[in-house]
Chains A and B, each alone.
Chain A
Amino acid sequence: MIQIRDLDFAYPKQQPLFSGLSVHLEAGSITGLLGKNGAGKTSLLKLLTGLLNYQSGDISVLEHNPRKREVSFLSNVFLVPEEFHFPSITIRNYLKAYTPFYPQFDSQLMDRILVEFELRTDNNLQRLSHGQKKKFLIAFAISTRCRLLVLDEPTNGLDIPSKVLFRKILAGSLDENQLVIISTHQVKDVENLIDKILILDNGKMIFQHTISDISQKVSFISGTSAEVAGSIYSESVPGGYRLMIPNENSETEVDIELLFNAVIQGKKIE
């Protein structure tokens, strides 16, 4: 579904952001894209959706070159950016104006999600709070039934109940033909949602593994000492230490924050 080969990209008059970046993603997963500030997560999402042009390499999304912005591509891709703008119209009018562009739009799903998010169709979009606008945009994105959903910091601005609803709605609304990419720093909000992790650092994708692959290879435990035999990585936490150790017999839940810090520091899970 997404194939990136040897991608080189830099903003004008700036240092290269990506150098020889390669990624391969298939449909039927919710992928978390992680990286430090300035690593290029948002830029990568914009390259995937055709909003930026790259210097060299190859990007293929849904067998399209995103930069051409063909209708057959755009009608199957939806981006929920971190910052967005709505015109000063009601939700009802927004749906009238925009849904015809998405042939697979599911109005019933939209109505259901709006009810769960406590939004009414006569609400004026400009008068909603940032969190409410974000909820509406997420609802719209899911209802388009696009094959590729790209969410940039989707839980920013959402209250705690809405984050729970977001996870529930996203997990329950997708099918195996869809791919969701979530770029986020708030890993706790998505750790039970994502099934693949990508970590971007220094212009390259330094980590691309599924959650099941990770939990088969490493375990995440708490301990009173950092000196545990075979420990790959450890961090001091209140009350002791969190450790990442090679998995011997028992699979544990993946501690994404610990994993991220370990990978960024050069630790391998193989």
Chain B
Amino acid sequence: MQKINQFSSGRFLLLIRQSLIINKKLLAISVVGLIAILFFVLLFLQSATNFSGLDNQGNITLFILVFIFPGMMYSGMSFSAFRSKEKSIGYLLIPASISEKFIFEFLTRIVLFIILIPGIFWLVVNIEGAIVHHYVPRLTNYTFSFAEAINEMLKKEYPGTWGIYATVQILLFILISTFTGACHFMKSPLSKTLFSIAGTICGFVLLAFLLFKGLNLDEFRPAINGILYPVNNKEFLELVAFAAGLANLFLIGISWFSFKEKEA
């Protein structure tokens, strides 16, 4: 009996199959919709700049925006069954283990998004650029390569390696926090998650401000140099990367326990 209750790749594949049978139309419409929106946003940005095209930094900025906003919406729709009691009952009683269901949601809502979105972005940017260049030959800066863009950023002191790592951790934080919120909150999970995060950050900033001003901690200059006492931008980015990474692990733990204890 112990073996049947362990993680089973066969049952995991059944969950994937079930999801595809139920959601294939919605998935296809979502991907096509995202491609169409990205295509027209690129077209708009190029026409607004008289078809001078976006450089690598511009494309990376656009990529980050595409990652954040559709990413928040997509991972915010994790555990879609929990939006209603009737769906929750059906989902919780499917004969699959807690780990299989949780890993399935995590892989499809976060890992798959992280893998597919750069590919979709790269494809759309290059195809859109080629199409527009065909009709507007003065658009010469129309190709994009992630490798080139990242190499350029690494050569610069800012943001540099730690800047990229901090950015990655913050982007993961955005996905994982909305994923956790979708698991925890039944109604309006995205807005409740954003409100909770905003409240937490504001509370922390207020506390830090009161401590610094109240106890004159801004006068405190420790002799030690460590991750908690950044003295320059690079160390600050290290702290951000470390804190965001820690927060991500903590949130994954919260989402796991929230899912395990879910009631309907």
A residues within 8 Å of B by Cβ? 46, 49-53, 69-72, 74-75, 77-79, 81, 83-85, 87, 89, 93, 96-98, 100-102
Contacts and interface: CB of A to CB of B under 8 A. Distances in A.
B96 A71 contact: yes
Interface stretch (B46-54, B65-73, B82-90): B82-90
Given A84-B86, A101-B11, A74 B22 contact: no
A75 B94 CA distance: 8
Nearest to B89: A81
B14 A101 contact: yes
B96 A70 contact: no
A105 to B, nearest CB: 11
A149 B17 CA distance: 26
B261 interface: yes
B87 A69 contact: no
Interface in B75-101: 84-87, 89-90, 92-98
B219 interface: no
A14 to B, nearest CB: 14
A52 B263 contact: yes
Contacts of A98: 18, 94
Contacts of B86: 81, 83-85
B196 interface: no
A93 B192 CA distance: 35
A101 B22 contact: no
Contacts of A89: 21-22
Nearest to A137: B90
A51 B18 contact: no
Nearest to B1: A72
Interface centre among A96, A98, A102 (most CB of B within 10 A): A98
Interface residues of B, number: 26
Given A96-B21, A97-B17, A100-B14, A75 B89 contact: no
Given A79-B89, A101-B96, A72 B4 contact: yes
A93 B19 CA distance: 11
29 contacts: A46-B264, A49-B93, A51-B92, A51-B264, A52-B263, A53-B263, A70-B4, A71-B8, A71-B11, A71-B96, A71-B97, A72-B1, A72-B5, A74-B94, A77-B93, A78-B93, A79-B93, A83-B85, A84-B89, A85-B86, A89-B22, A93-B22, A97-B17, A97-B18, A97-B21, A98-B18, A98-B94, A101-B94, A101-B96
Interface string B236-264: 00000000000000000000000001011
A145 B66 CA distance: 48
Nearest to A46: B264
Contacts of A101: 11, 14, 94-96
Contacts of B92: 50-51, 69
Interface centre among B8, B11, B93 (most CB of A within 10 A): B93
Nearest to A85: B86
Interface in B21-46: 21-22
Nearest to A70: B5
A177 B264 CA distance: 28
Nearest to B14: A100
Contacts of A49: 93
